[in-house]
Copies of this chain bind each other. A is one copy, B any other.
Amino acid sequence: MLNSYSSADKALLAVDCIIFGFDNEGLKILLIKRDFEPEKGKWSLIGGFLKRDEVLDNAAIRILNTYTGLNDIYMEQLYAYSEIDRDPVERTISVSYYALINIENHNAELIKNYHAQWFSVADAPNLIFDHNEMVEHAIRRLRYRTSIKPIGFELLPEKFTMRQLLELYEAILSKELDKRNFISKINSLEILNKLEEKDMQSSRKGSYLYTFNKEKYEEKLLNDFVLNL
């Protein structure tokens, strides 16, 4: 019978997490060295199996927490991967999730746990299964996301300079942006607070620090817009 539940095939469901971070070296992803077979010892996305009593969103949160100690990370579902032999042990459909996090805020936890490690997107190691494809797909989604939602709050330290924000966008889009045009577009969004304080690390003159205005930022997250950079 076409639709009998009893005769339908079951499969394992996995969740894999593409965690993006940013620091002064550029855009990074968080990987783990797999500690079980198959492919033990190879680099992998953070992943795990969906439990019986759990929805995918929560599985993603739980799995990330297990490997990194990270909490309260908001992730978005990306895509379901279902090639027959994508996992050689058993038929497994994997649903990918991606998130943006602030490396500085979270690095201590990560180092303490030693399970996860940051890699530059540009020179990440080869990954198991179809995880390379998942990462590429997530980068495409992240680039698109920059055109309809502001990005930055999740990836930058609380106080940051315009240059850091510019370099973040350049890293995500992997192209150079005109500084003056960038600044005026960002300012037109009205999501930043300019502080009196200056960062004196990067130059003799020093550059003003900014914070995100969380209320306005959240507001912009709700309504899509177009940001042509």
Query: Interface on A for B, CB 8 Å cutoff?
Result: 1-5, 8-13, 35-36, 48-57, 66, 77, 79-80, 82-84, 89-91, 93, 95, 226, 228
Q: Quick one: closest B residue to A35, CB to CB?
A: B3
* Given A2-B66, A3-B36, A36-B3, A82-B50 contact (CB < 8 Å): yes
Chain B residues with CB under 8 Å of A36's CB are 1-4
Least Cβ–Cβ distance between A176 and chain B, in angstroms: 20
Q: Which single member of B9, B35, B50, B95 contacts A9 (CB below 8 Å)?
A: B50
Query: Measured between alpha carbons, how far is A84 from B56 in the docked complex, in Å?
Result: 10
Across the interface, do A48 and B79 meet the contact criterion of CB distance under 8 Å?
Answer: no
Query: Measured between alpha carbons, how far is A17 from B68 in the docked complex, in Å?
Result: 37
Q: Which single member of B5, B9, B51 contacts A51 (CB below 8 Å)?
A: B9
8 sampled A-B residue pairs with Cβ under 8 A? A3-B35, A3-B48, A3-B49, A8-B12, A10-B12, A50-B93, A53-B84, A56-B82
Chain B residues with CB under 8 Å of A90's CB are 5
Across the interface, do A50 and B226 meet the contact criterion of CB distance under 8 Å?
Answer: no
Chain B residues with CB under 8 Å of A95's CB are 80, 82
